[in-house]
Structure 1
Amino acid sequence: MKKRINITRKCILLTAACGWFSISQAQQMSCVARNDCGVEGAQPYLIKGENYTLPEKFTGSKEALTCNFGGTVIYAFNQMDINAAYQLEVVYLADSEREQRIVADGNEVQAPVVLQAGKEQRYRIDLPKKAYAYGQLVLVFEALKGPNALVSEVNLYTNSSLKTVPFEGDKKADLVHTQSYVVDTTVCAEKVLPVYSVKPSQVTGVYQPLMSLNGTWQFHEKPTPDFYQSFQTDKGWKPITVPGEWSMQGFQVDSATFAGYQTRFSLPADWKGKQIKLRFDGVSSESIVYLNGKEIGSHMGGMTAFELDITQALQPGDNLLSLRVRSESLADMLGSLTQYAAHQLGGITRKVTLMAVPKVHLSDMRILTDLDADYQDAELKVYTTVTNQSDQPQKDIHLQLTIDGLPVDLHAPVPEIAAGGSWSGWISGKVSNPQKWDNEHPHLYTLQTSLHQGDETLEITEKRFGFREVELKGNRLLVNGVPVKLRGVCRHEVHPLTGRVMNPDLVRKDVELYRSGNCNFIRTSHYPPCEELLEVCDELGMFVEVESPVCWIGHHANENWKRLNYRDPKYYAYVLQANIETIHFYRNHPSILFWSMANESYWNKEFAQVEVYVKKADPSRPHTFHDQAYGGFNNQGSTAPIANIHYPGPDGYKVAAKSERPMIYGEYCHLNVYNRSELVTDPGIRSDWALALAPTWENMYQTPGVLGGSIWSGIDDIFQMPNGDAVGYGPWGPIDGWRRPKPEYWDMKKIYSPIRVKTTTLSPASTFTVEVENRYTYTNLNELRINWQFGNEKGVAFVDCPAGQNGQFTINVQHPEQANGLYLSFVDPRGFVADEYRIPVGEQSQNVWAIPSALPTRLKEKKDRYLVSGPHFTCEVSRTNGQILSLKKDGKECLVGGPWLMALPLTGGGCYPNHNANTPIFNDLCTEWTVSSTEARTEGEDVCITVQGSYKEFKGNYTLRINASGEIAVSYTFEALQDVNPRQWGLVFEAPASFDRTFWRRDGLWTVYPEDHISRPVGEAALFYTGLPETIHPRVKPSWAWSRDFNELGSNDFRSTRRNIWYAGLKNEDGNTVTAVSEGHQHWRSWLQQDRIRFLVADFVTPGDEMFLSSYYAPYRKPLKTGDSIGGTVKLVVGESNTTQE
C-alpha cells in the first residue's frame, strides 16, 4: 500500500509539471529500463554522453545530481514491442540554463524545453509509436541553446510483457553517430557551382589576354547614391590602394554603410570581339558592381572570388568601373571576420583581373589524377566545360591536352554547342610512371589545354598540377599510398600595416619560413587564402587544409548567437555558397589535402545538408568540420570523414588512438598570449612553450590515429592602425607580423624536425659513430647532405636511411683532442637546413666558473650598518633592513641593493582580442619587509650576517656569507603567510646601471640555437642594443632581430629568464662582473629598474599562466599554501671575469 501511495503522489507531481495524463495508465505500466545517468554500471542503455556529477551547492535527488552531457546524448533500447504503449520518464538538473529537445528517428519526442539552473525538472512523455516502429528506440537529447545537452535519469515504462534490452557490440558502436535529422542526399552540386573561367595564357589575335586592375583607385567613405553614373572628382574622393583594406589606409566608414570605389580603364584594341571577364579574388564583404553607370552584378562574401561577364556593358575608349562595398554583412557575421580582426576589413582586398577569352572558351577545368594500386602509373582525368557565348551554334570544336616532359597527347571532339550553351565532359588518358607530387618532392607538371575550331586555335590555357592521390584507410590519411603525419600551423593572412591583405612576396616568405621551421602543413584559418599561397605551396612543397570563411556559428565567441537562432535555415544559403566557392576556385592545387567546412561552429541539420554538397563537389578529397569530436562542449555529432578536436590537452592522443576516423588536432598547443603582463615582463616565458609542445608532438607522432595538428597560431595577429592603435588578438605566433622568428619558432623547428640524432654524447676518438632516426614521410636521408665540424676540421657525411627507419653514419677526424663538441647540420634537398645538433665530446669544462680563493675578511659594526672588508674589497650591510647598501671590488661598486624576496604570482588573462601597447609590467617584490633582528659574526675567513624578518606574504630569515675574495653566498628560508601560486621565487639583487650587459652559460633544451635566440645556451645580451631608435615605432618595420626589441625594462634578450644556469651575471664596459654561480638548477633574470639593474636568482621557475596551456603545465606548478616553506642558496661572485668558457 505504501508503494502505491508513493506512485500516486509522484504521478500527481508529474501532472503539475507536464500536463495531464492518466493515473490509471501510469499504474498499469511497469518500468522495463532504468538509467541513473552519469553513474558507471547504472546506465546500460547509454550510447553517447559524458559522465558528470554536479557540485555540492546544487540540491536534488541523489539520482538527479549525476548526469550525462554532450552536444548530443544518446540512449537506445532494443527489442521494443511495436504494438505496445510506452512512456518515457526523464529527469533534468542543470548547472546553468539551457534549451534542449528529444528526437527519435527524426521525430520530435519532447518539444524544446528550457532547463533552469539548479531546478530539478521531471517529465513523463507518451511515446509515439512511430518512434519505435521498427522495434528500436533511439533517443537523441539535442542541445539547442546553452553549453550542451544533459539528462539525469532515463526510464522507460510499458504495458507489454516483452523485455527491452540494451544494444551491444558493433550495433551499439554504430548508434554513436545517430542524428536527429534527415538530409537530402539527392542534391546536385553542379547546380550551385559558380563560374570561374579558365585563365588563358594565349588567345588567338590577342597579345596579352590578362589585364590587372590593381593599383590606385578613387574612394569615398560615404558616396552619393548615384555616384556610379560618372567619374567623381569632388574633394570627398581620395586615392586608395587596391588591393587594400580601407581601415589600414586611414579611412573610416560608418558601420553597415556602403563605401564607394571607382577606377577607369581602356581595353586593348585587340580585345575587340572577345568575351571580357572581370574577376575579383576578394571584396570584403558585400559588393555591388557597376560598369559605365549600369549595375552588372553583386556578391556576398569577402574571402571568396567572383567573376562577372562585362562584355555587354563595355564601351569604346574609357570605361568607368564603380563598386559599392560594405564591410558589415551577413557574410561578415557568419565568418566573424571583422569581430575577429577587431577592425573593419572592408575593401577590395584581393587582386582584380580582366580577361579576354574567345566567344567559345573554356569556362571550367578540373584536374584529377588517379594512381594505380602500386602508386606508380596514373590516369589523368580532366573535366572541362566549353561555353559558347556567341549568337550562333558552334561546331567542329575539339580539345587537345599535352603535358610538358611526358608523352601525353590527348584529343577530344566536342559536339555542336548551341548559342548560349555549353558542353561538359571528361577527357582521360594513361600516364606511365610520372613523377609524383608530395610535400617533400613537389614535382609539378604543366597541363596545356588547347581549344580548337577546325584548323584554328581559339585559346590555350596552362595549369601546373601534380600527380598525387589522397585517400582514407581506417583512421589514417594516405598521400600516394603513404600515411602522413601533419606537422602544422594555423595561418592567418596578416600584416601589421596592410591587415588581411598580402602581396605575393610576403606569401612566399610565409611558406618558406614554415617549411624551414619543419612544418609540412598549413591550415588556412579561418578563410581560404589568396590564390598565390596555394601556388607557392604547390611549388615549394606544403600540405594545406583550406577552410571556408565560416567561423563561430552558434559558438559563444560570436555574441550575435545570444539573440539569434543559429539553426535557422536562412543563414545556410551563404554557408553553402562559401563552401562551394572555396572548393571550386582552389580545387586544382595538389597541395590541398582536405577541406574545412567551418571553424568552431555548432553542427546541425543545415550543416549536414551543406556537407552533402561538399562531398559531391569534390569526391577526390575528404573534408573536416572544426567542432569537438568528443567531450561535452561543441560536440554535436558531426559526420565529417576527418574528426577534429581543438586543444585536446596532453592526453588527447589516447582518445585519438581509439578513433575510427583520422583525428586532426585542428588547433593545439596555443602559444602564450593572454598572460599579457607576464609576457611584457619576461619574454623568456616564450621558450617554456616547448615544454608543452615537445611531449605532445611525440605522443601525436607515435599514435596512428592522430593525423597531426596545427599549432595555434602560426603568426602574430596584430594590426597597427594608422591612428596609432594596436588591435587584434595579439602576439600568438612563432613569427611576428614582420616575419621575424620569435623564440617559439626555433622550438617548433626542433620539435617538428624530421631528424632525430639519437647519440647524445661521444668519447674522444678518431672515429665518431652517430645514430639517427629518419622521420621524413618520403625522403631517404641519403638525399640530405650532412655538414659536420669538429674544431678546425670540416666535412660532409651521408647516410642511407629510408623514411621511418633508424640508421648510423661515421665521421673520421685527425685530431680528436682539439675540440669538445661535434657540430652537425642536416641540409634538406629542397635547400634549407632541416636541423642542427652539437654532440658533446668528452669533458665539458667550459661550464665551470672559477671561484676565487678565500681571503681574510674583517667585520666592523656601526650603529646603522655592518662594514665588511678585506684586500680591495668593501661591503656595507644595513642593520635596519638587513640589505646590501654597497659592495665594491677593486674599487668598483658592483652591488647596491638586495637581497629581496620575490614570489611572483602567476598572472593570466581571458581570451579576448584586446591586444594593446600599454599592458602593465608585473614584476613585484614581496611587500612590507620588516626586520626583527640582525646578527653578524666571523666564521673562519668569512663574515656571516643573519637577518630575521617578515614580509606581508612571507616570514623567515637569510644569512649573508661574505668573503673579501668577492664571493657572497646567501642562504634563505621563508614560510608562506598566505596562499600563492608562484611563477618564480628567489632572491633579487641590485647593481649599478653601468652593469648593462648580461652573460650566461646554461643547459639548453636544445644543443644548438640561433645566435640571437633568447635561450641560447651561452651568450651575452645588452640592456639596449646600439643602432636602434630610442623608441620603437609600431608602424615602421624593424631591421633588427626580435630579441633586440625593448621596453622600459630593457631588451627582450636582456630581460628574459635563463633557466638552468651554470653561471649568469652582469658586467660593465670595464669587465667588472657580478656572477651567480650554480650547478644547472637555478635560473636568472635581469631588468632595468629606474636607474639601476636588478637581477633575480630563482630557485623555482614555472611556465607562464597562459589559459590554453594550463593542463600541459600542471606538472611544473608548485602552489604554496599558508605555512609552506621555500628556500635555497644563492652564490654570487664579484670581480673581473675569470671564466674558463671557450
Structure 2
Amino acid sequence: MKKSFISAQFLALSAGFLILLTGGMAVAQETPEWQNPAVTGINKEKGRAAFTPVSPEGETYKLSLNGMWKFKLSHNPDTRPGKFYLPSFSVRRWKEIPVPANWEMEGHDVPIYVNHPYEFADARTPITEFRNGPEPPKVPLTYNPVASYRRDFTVPASWEGRETYIYLGSVKSAFYIWVNGQKAGYSEGSKLPAEFNITPYVIPGKKNTVALEVYRWSTASYLECQDFWRMSGIERSVEVYSRPKLHIRDFEVVSTLDEVYRNGILRIYVSLQNRNTNPHWGTIDVVLSENGHPLLTVGKMVEVADLGEAEVDFDKVLQNHMPLTGIKPWSAEFPNLYELTLSLRDANGTLLETITTKIGFRSVEIKRGLLLINGVPITLKGVNMQEHNPETGHVVTEELMMKDILLMKQNNINAVRTSHYPQPERWQELCDEYGIYLVDEANIESHGLYYGERSLAKDPDWEHAHVDRMVRLVQRDKNHPSVIIWSMGNEAGNGVNFYAGYRAMKAHDRTGRPVQYERTEIGSRFALEFDWNSDIIVPQYPDPQTFEWFGQRVLDRPFIPSEYNHAMGNSGGNFQDYWDIIERYPQLQGGFIWDWVDQGLWKTGSDGKRFYAYGGDYGTGMPSDGNFLINGIVYADRTPQPELAEVKKGHEWINFRLLRYRDQVARIQVENLYDFTSLGEFRIEASVMAEGKILKNLEIPRLDIPPHSGGVTEIDLQGIGAEPGTEYFLLLEARTRHASPGIPTNHLVAHEQIRLPGYKKREIATPGGSLNFEENENTLIITGKDFKATFSKQEGRLTSYLYKGAELILQGYGPKPDFWRAPTDNDFGNRMPIRNINWKKATLNPQLRNLTTTKNDNGSYSVTAVWDLSETSSSFTTRYTVQGDGSVRFTNILEASGNEKSDIPRVGMVLCLPAEFDQLTYFGRGPHENYNDRNVSAFVGLYSGNAADQMVPYVRPQENGNKTHVRWAALTNAAGTGWMAVSNTPGEGFEMTAMPYLSQDFDARSGMDYGPIEKEQKHATDVKPRSLVRWNIDLGQRGVGGVDSWGSLPLEKYRFPTGRNYEYTFTLIPVEEATPGKMAGISKKY
C-alpha cells in the first residue's frame, strides 16, 4: 500500500483540478486549461460551415480586426503581465505587431524547424526543462513564450440589440480572450476557427478592448507535431460580426447525384438559433440558381425555443422536386457550381438575413474497391501542401493561393492533401471554383511520440482532444464539393482515439465521404493487412516495386499513397516509373507527392543578399532538422523547380504511342486517361523535327475519344527525307480548344516526342592534315595547322590546347577522370557521401600508372594514359587520339573492380575553359536540367544559353544542371570560337554539365569528412561564380532518386554498379564562327 501511495504523485479528479498528495494532506490545485488535454475550449461556439450573412440592407455586419495590435512577448508564463486585459492597463509603451502574423517572423523569438521531435522536448538539443524527450501532458514552464495582444475597436451603434461574435481564424497554440476586461473564453486547435459570443461584454457605439494571451506551447502542441516551421501567434484573420437574435447558426448541404449519376439530389439541413428570451417562429426560404436563374424555390417555417436551437430538415419539402434533371455534375475537370441562397424571415415576414453559397452536385463513394466520383473511377494526381509564405511564414494570402491553384491546374495536378491540417476557408472555395480534389486533413500529428504504447492514439484521456479536431473539420468544410475525402491526421499512431474519430467523422457527414488515415498498416511495412478505420489504403513512400505488388492483388479498398516521391532538393527521380505502373492497374488510383512547396523563409545575409533560410538559420542552440523541410517541386515563392516539368509530363492525361512506321506513315495510338473529358476538347498537332528545326507541321483531325478509352490515328509524313547522320523526331502536342477554370485557351496539356525509325549511320571520314610530334622531359606536344596540343607526362592529361592563338583549356584544369558529384539530399539520405567516399578519393587522387604514345597508320597520334584508382581497386584509361584537323578523340574505359561494393556516383571526365567560353549550345535533352531517372519531360532538341544560367539554385547547394542524351555540345566565346564535343558512343549520347562553378562549390564538404554532421549550413547565395567554365562530359551519373530521402537508393537501372567495365567515346573539336547549323554539320563527320 505504501509503495502504491508513493508512486501515485498526482490523482486526477476532474478536468480542472488535481489533488496534490503531500504528507497525507490533500490540497486542491487548479490546472490551467493550457496544461489540461481534456479541455479544448471554454465558451467556444460549436463548429459551423463558413459563410457570411447579408442583412436586408446589404450589410455584412462585419468588422475586420486585422492590422496593428499592441504586443508584448514574455519568456515564460511566470513573467507574463498580469491584468493587461483591463482597459485601464497601459500598453502605450508596448510594441506593435501586425495581425495576422507569426510573431517569430516579426522579430520576436525565433522560428524553429524540426521534423518529428517536439521542439520543446528534443533530447538532442534541449531548450527547456525537458531533457529526455516529451512527457505528455506536461508542457514547458521555464521557456515557453507567452504573447499578450491588445487592441481597441468600435462596434457600430446599429449593432445594439443583436448578437455579436468574434472570429479568430487560427491562433497557435492556445489562448485566452478577454473583452473589456472580462474573460470571454479559451481555445486551442490552431488551424480551425475559434468563435465566441461576446454580446455580454461588448458596448455598441463605444470603444471596446479585446485582449489575447497566447501560449507558444500547450497540451495542444502534443497534437501539432508536424513537419514544418514551429511558429506561433494569430495566423489568420480576426473579425467581429453581428447577427440578429434569431439567425441561421449553421447549415449542411448534401448535393449528390442519383443512382444512375445523371440527375441531382439535394438535401438541406439548417440550424436556427434563437437568442431571444421567448420562443420565435422563423421561415427559411431556399433558392437554387444557376447563373442567376432560379431552378428551385422551397420554404419551411419552424418554431425555435427561447435561448434554443432547432434543426430544420428540408427532406420532405424537397422530396417532390427530386431528382433535379439537367444538373451539370461537379468534378475537378468540370467544376460546375450552383448558387444556393438561404433567407430567414421572422413571424411577420420581415427579412432578417440572407446567406448565399456555391455548391456542386457530385457523388463520392467506394465500390468494388474503387474510389468513384459521379460513378467513375478517378485518378488523383496530387501533392501534399503546407501553408507557407516565404515572407510571412504561415500567413498565406489569397494572391498566393491563386498562384498555387493556377500552377497546379496548368501542370496536371488535380488533387491536394491539406497536410497536415485544414487550410484557410478561402482555399476550399477556390478549389470548388477551379476544380481541385481535396483530401481534407485534421490538425493531428503526434509523431514525436511515435506509434507504440506511448502513442496518444492509444490513450483514452486524449480522445476528446483528437475527436474534437476531426469533428470541427467536418463541421467547417462539409458543404464543399472539392472535399472528397476526410483524413483523420498524420503520423500519430493508431488506436482507440482514431477508432472514435473515424466513427465521429462518419456520423457528422451526411454526404458520406470516405475517411482515410495513413497509420493503419498492421504488421510489416506495406503489408496487405490494414486496420478497419481507413476506407483507403494510404501508405507512405512505397517504391515502384511496391506499387506493382499492390496492383497485382485484389484489394477491398483503393490504393492511394498519402505521400510518395519525396522531392527534397534535387530529387523527383523515377516519377515516370511510378506512373507507368499506376496506369496499368485500376485500383492504383494515384498518390500525393511530398510535397508542393519548399518551406524556405526569406532572410537577408551579411552581404545584403536574400536567401532561403531553413532549420538552424535562426537562434543559437536551437533544435534543428536542417533543410529537411525543403521538399517542394516549387520554390517557396512558387517559382517552378525542374521536378515540376517531370510531374506535369508524368501526370499527363493523354498518351501517344507509335504502333508502326511504314512508308512514311506513322500509326499512333492515342489514349484518353481523363475521367470525364473527351479528347474532342483538345486540338492535336504534329510536327516533324530534325536538328532543332521544324520540317513539317500537321494538325490531326478532331479525335472525339471518350474518357478511359483509346483510338488510333495515322499521320502522313511524306516528303521527309532520311539524310545520313540525322535523327528525325515526331512531336505530338495536345492543346486546349477553349479556356476552362485555371487553364487558358491553347494551353499545352500533353505532348510526346517519338524518335522515328530508319536512322542511317553517318560515314565518318578520316580528318586530313599533317602533324608534328615533340617530346621533352615533362610534356608531349602535338602540333598541326592552327593548333597545338600539350600533354603532361606527370599527370597524363591534356593540359593546354591553343587554337589560332586562343587557349581553350584553363591552366590546371585539363580533362581528367571524374567519379564524384556534390551529394544531393537523397544522396545524403542513403549515405552516399560515406558509403561511396572512395570514388571521391579516386577523383582527387588518381595515380598515373603509365603513359604511351602511338603514331597511327592514318597519321594521327594516340596518347594513352592509365590511372590506378587504388582506393577502389579500379583503373581508368583514356586514349587521346589527335587528328590532323585538330580534333581530339577521347576513348575512356573504367574497369570498376567488384571489390569496391558501392556504386559509382559518376563516370566521366571534367575540364575547365577560360571564362570567355560561356556560350553553350547543345543537341540533347532540355531545356531544363535532367537526369537519367528524370528526363521524360526534357525532349531532344537544339538549345542554347549562357553557362551561368544552367545552374539550378537549390536552397541547399548540391549537384545540379545536368543534361542527358547529348549528341553534341559546344562552348564558345562571343566570336563563336571554342570547343565542340561530339558523342561517338552508340546509343543516345553523353551527359553534360556546363557552368561557371566547380563541382566542389556545391559539395557539403570540401574534404573527405562527411560525419557525424554531414551537411554544412550552406545556401545558394554562398556559391559564388568563378572565372571559368566547368564542363563535365560524362558517360553518366547515378539518378537523383525519388522514393524517399532517408535511405532509398536510385532504382538499380539508374545506377552504375561496380564489377564491370564502362566505355564511352567523344571527340573534342575546335571551332570558330560557330553557328548551330554549322555545328550540326560538323557533328556528322565524327
Confirm or deny a common fold (TM above 0.5): yes
Which of 390, 398, 418 pairs up with 1:524?
418
Task: Mark the CA change 1:842 to 1:970 in structure 2 (over 3 Å): closer, same or farther.
Answer: closer
Is residue 374 of structure 2 the alignment partner of residue 460 of structure 1? no
> Match for residue 990 of structure 2?
1082
CA distance in structure 1 between the aligned counterparts of 2:678 and 2:928, rounded to whole angstroms: 24
CA distance in 2, matches of 1:363, 1:937: 92
The answer on 1:285 being equivalent to 2:177 is: no
**Are the counterparts in 2 of residues 598 and 625 from structure 1 also a CA contact under 8 Å?**
yes
Partner of 2:1011: none
* Residue of structure 2 in register with 1:773 after alignment: 671
Pairwise CA distance, 1:895: 2.2
For the residues of structure 2 that align with 1:1017 and 1:320, how far apart are their CA atoms? 66
Partner-residue secondary structure (3-state), 2:392: coil
Letter in 2 for 1:934: L
CA 1:1105 to 1:666, structure 2 compared with 1: closer, same or farther past 3 Å? Answer: closer
For residue 1071 of structure 1, the aligned residue among 976, 981, 986 is 976
2:929/2:961 contact within 8 Å kept: no
Residues 845/202 of structure 1: CA separation in 2 closer, same or farther (3 Å cut): same
**Paired letter, 1:778:** F
Aligned to 2:920: 998
Cα offset for 1:740?
Answer: 1.0
Shift of 1:1075: 2.2
1:385 match: 271
Q: Cα distance, 1:874 vs. partner?
A: 0.5
Counterpart contact for 1:781–1:801, Cα < 8 Å = yes
Counterparts of residues 316-331 of structure 1 (less than 5 Å): 316-331=205-220
Per the TM alignment, residue 566 of structure 1 is displaced from its structure 2 partner at its CA by: 5.3
Q: Secondary structure at the match of 1:353?
A: strand
Q: Which residue of 2 aligns with 1:959?
A: 879
Residues 827 and 630 (structure 1 numbering): CA distance in 2 closer, same or farther, change over 3 Å? farther
| Other structure's SS at 2:533 match | coil
Q: Is the 8 A contact 1:971 1:1127 kept in 2?
A: yes
1:733-752 residue pairs with structure 2 within 5 A?
733-752=632-651
SS of the residue 1:307 aligns to: strand
Q: Within the alignment, does 1:585 sit opposite 2:466 as a pair?
A: no
After superposition, residues 835-984 of structure 1 pair within 5 angstroms as: 835-837=749-751, 853-896=767-810, 897-904=813-820, 907=823, 926-939=843-856, 940-953=858-871, 954-976=874-896, 979=900, 980-984=902-906
Equivalent-residue separation in structure 1 for 2:955 and 2:538 (angstroms): 40
Q: Which residue of 2 aligns with 1:599?
A: 490
Q: Structure 1 CA distance, aligned partners of 2:311 and 2:956?
A: 66
Percent identical among aligned pairs is 23
SS of 2:820's partner is strand
Q: Which moved more, 1:195-204 or 1:987-996?
A: 195-204
Instruction: Pick closer, same or farther for the CA change 1:798–1:975 going to 2, 3 Å.
Output: closer
> CA 1:425–1:911 in 2, change beyond 3 Å: closer, same or farther?
farther
Tell me whether 1:623 sits opposite 2:515 in the alignment.
yes
Rounded Cα–Cα distance in structure 2 between residues aligned with 1:956 and 1:465 = 67
Deviations along 1:1022-1069, whole A, 9 cap, x unmatched?
Answer: 2335xxxxxxxxxxxxxxxx966489999x9xx612112111232222
- CA 231–525 in structure 1, closer or farther in 2 if over 3 Å, else same: farther
Name structure 1 gaps, 5 residues minimum: 1-190, 674-678, 680-685, 915-920, 1026-1041
* Mean CA deviation greater in 445-454 or 405-414: 405-414
Match of 1:248 among 102, 105, 119: 105
Q: 2: CA distance between counterparts of 1:1022 and 1:1011?
A: 21
- Residues 595 and 1091 (structure 1 numbering): CA distance in 2 closer, same or farther, change over 3 Å? same
Report deviation, 1:875: 0.8
Distance change (3 Å), C-alpha of 1:549 and 1:835: same
SS for the counterpart of 2:371 is strand
In the aligned structure 2, how far is the partner of 1:391 from the partner of 1:581?
28
**Which residues of 2 match residues 473-872 of structure 1 at below 5 A?**
473-553=367-447, 556=450, 567-619=458-510, 620-629=512-521, 632-633=524-525, 637-653=531-547, 654-656=549-551, 657-673=553-569, 679=570, 686=571, 689-690=572-573, 692-720=574-602, 725-727=613-615, 729-759=628-658, 770-786=668-684, 797-808=701-712, 822=731, 824-827=733-736, 829=738, 830=740, 831-832=743-744, 833-837=747-751, 853-872=767-786
* Distance verdict in 2 for CA 1:228–1:605, change over 3 Å: same
Q: Paired residue for 1:1117?
A: 1055
Report if aligned partners of 1:494, 1:717 keep a CA contact under 8 Å in 2.
Answer: yes
Structure richer in strand, relative to its length: 1
1:234 shift after superposition = 4.9
Q: Secondary structure at the match of 1:664?
A: coil
Would the alpha carbon gap of residues 781 and 265 (structure 1) be closer, same or farther in structure 2, given more than 3 Å must change?
Answer: same
Tell me the amino acid that sits aligned with residue 154 of structure 2. S
- Whole-Å Cα distance in 2 between the matches of residues 1106 and 997 of structure 1? 32
Distance 2:595 2:686 in 1: 34
Kept after mapping to 2: 8 A contact 1:1002/1:1060: yes
Distance 1:466 1:851, change over 3 A: farther
Which shows bigger deviation, 646-655 or 300-309?
Answer: 646-655
Letter in 2 for 1:1093: V
- Matched to 2:708, the amino acid is G
Q: Which of 946, 956, 966 does residue 1022 from structure 1 map onto?
A: 946
Change (3 A) 1:1082 1:563: same
1:20-169 alignment, distance < 5 Å: none
Deviation track 1:367-389 (CA, whole Å, cap 9, x = no partner) reads: 00242221122221011011101
Shift of 1:423: 0.9
Compute the displacement of 1:987 (Å): 1.9
Give 1:947 shift.
Answer: 2.4
Give the drift of 1:356: 1.8
* 29, 39, 56: which one aligns with 1:204: 56
1:441 to 329, 334, 337: 334
1:603, 1:638 within 8 Å by CA — same for their partners in 2?
A: no
Q: Which residue of 2 aligns with 1:117?
A: none
1:744 counterpart SS class = helix
Match of 1:426 among 305, 313, 330: 313
Report deviation, 1:418: 1.9
Q: Is the 8 A contact 2:414 2:436 kept in 1?
A: yes
Residue number in structure 2 paired with 1:1140: 1080
Tell me, what secondary structure is at the counterpart of 2:431?
helix
Residue identity matched to 2:965: N
What is the RMSD computed on CA atoms of the aligned residues? 3.8
Asked whether the 8 Å contact 1:981–1:1120 carries over to 2, the reply is yes
CA contact (8 A) 1:203 1:358 kept: no
For 1:1092, the equivalent position in structure 2 comes to 1028
Determine if contact 1:554/1:566 at 8 Å carries over to the other structure: no
Q: 1:430-453: per-residue Cα shift (whole Å, max 9, x none)? A: 222311111111000010011111
Matched, 1:1062 2:967: yes
Query: Once the 2 structures are TM-superposed, how far is the Cα of residue 351 of structure 1 from its aligned partner?
Result: 1.7
Compare 995-1004 and 1107-1116 and name the one that shifted more.
1107-1116
Give the AA of the match of 2:108.
F
Residues 504-541 of structure 1: per-residue CA shift (max 9 Å, x gap): 11111111111111111111111111111111110011
Q: 1:207 to 1:628 in 2, by over 3 A?
A: closer
Moved more, 782-791 or 772-781: 782-791
When Rg is computed on C-alpha atoms for both structures, the one with the higher figure is: 1
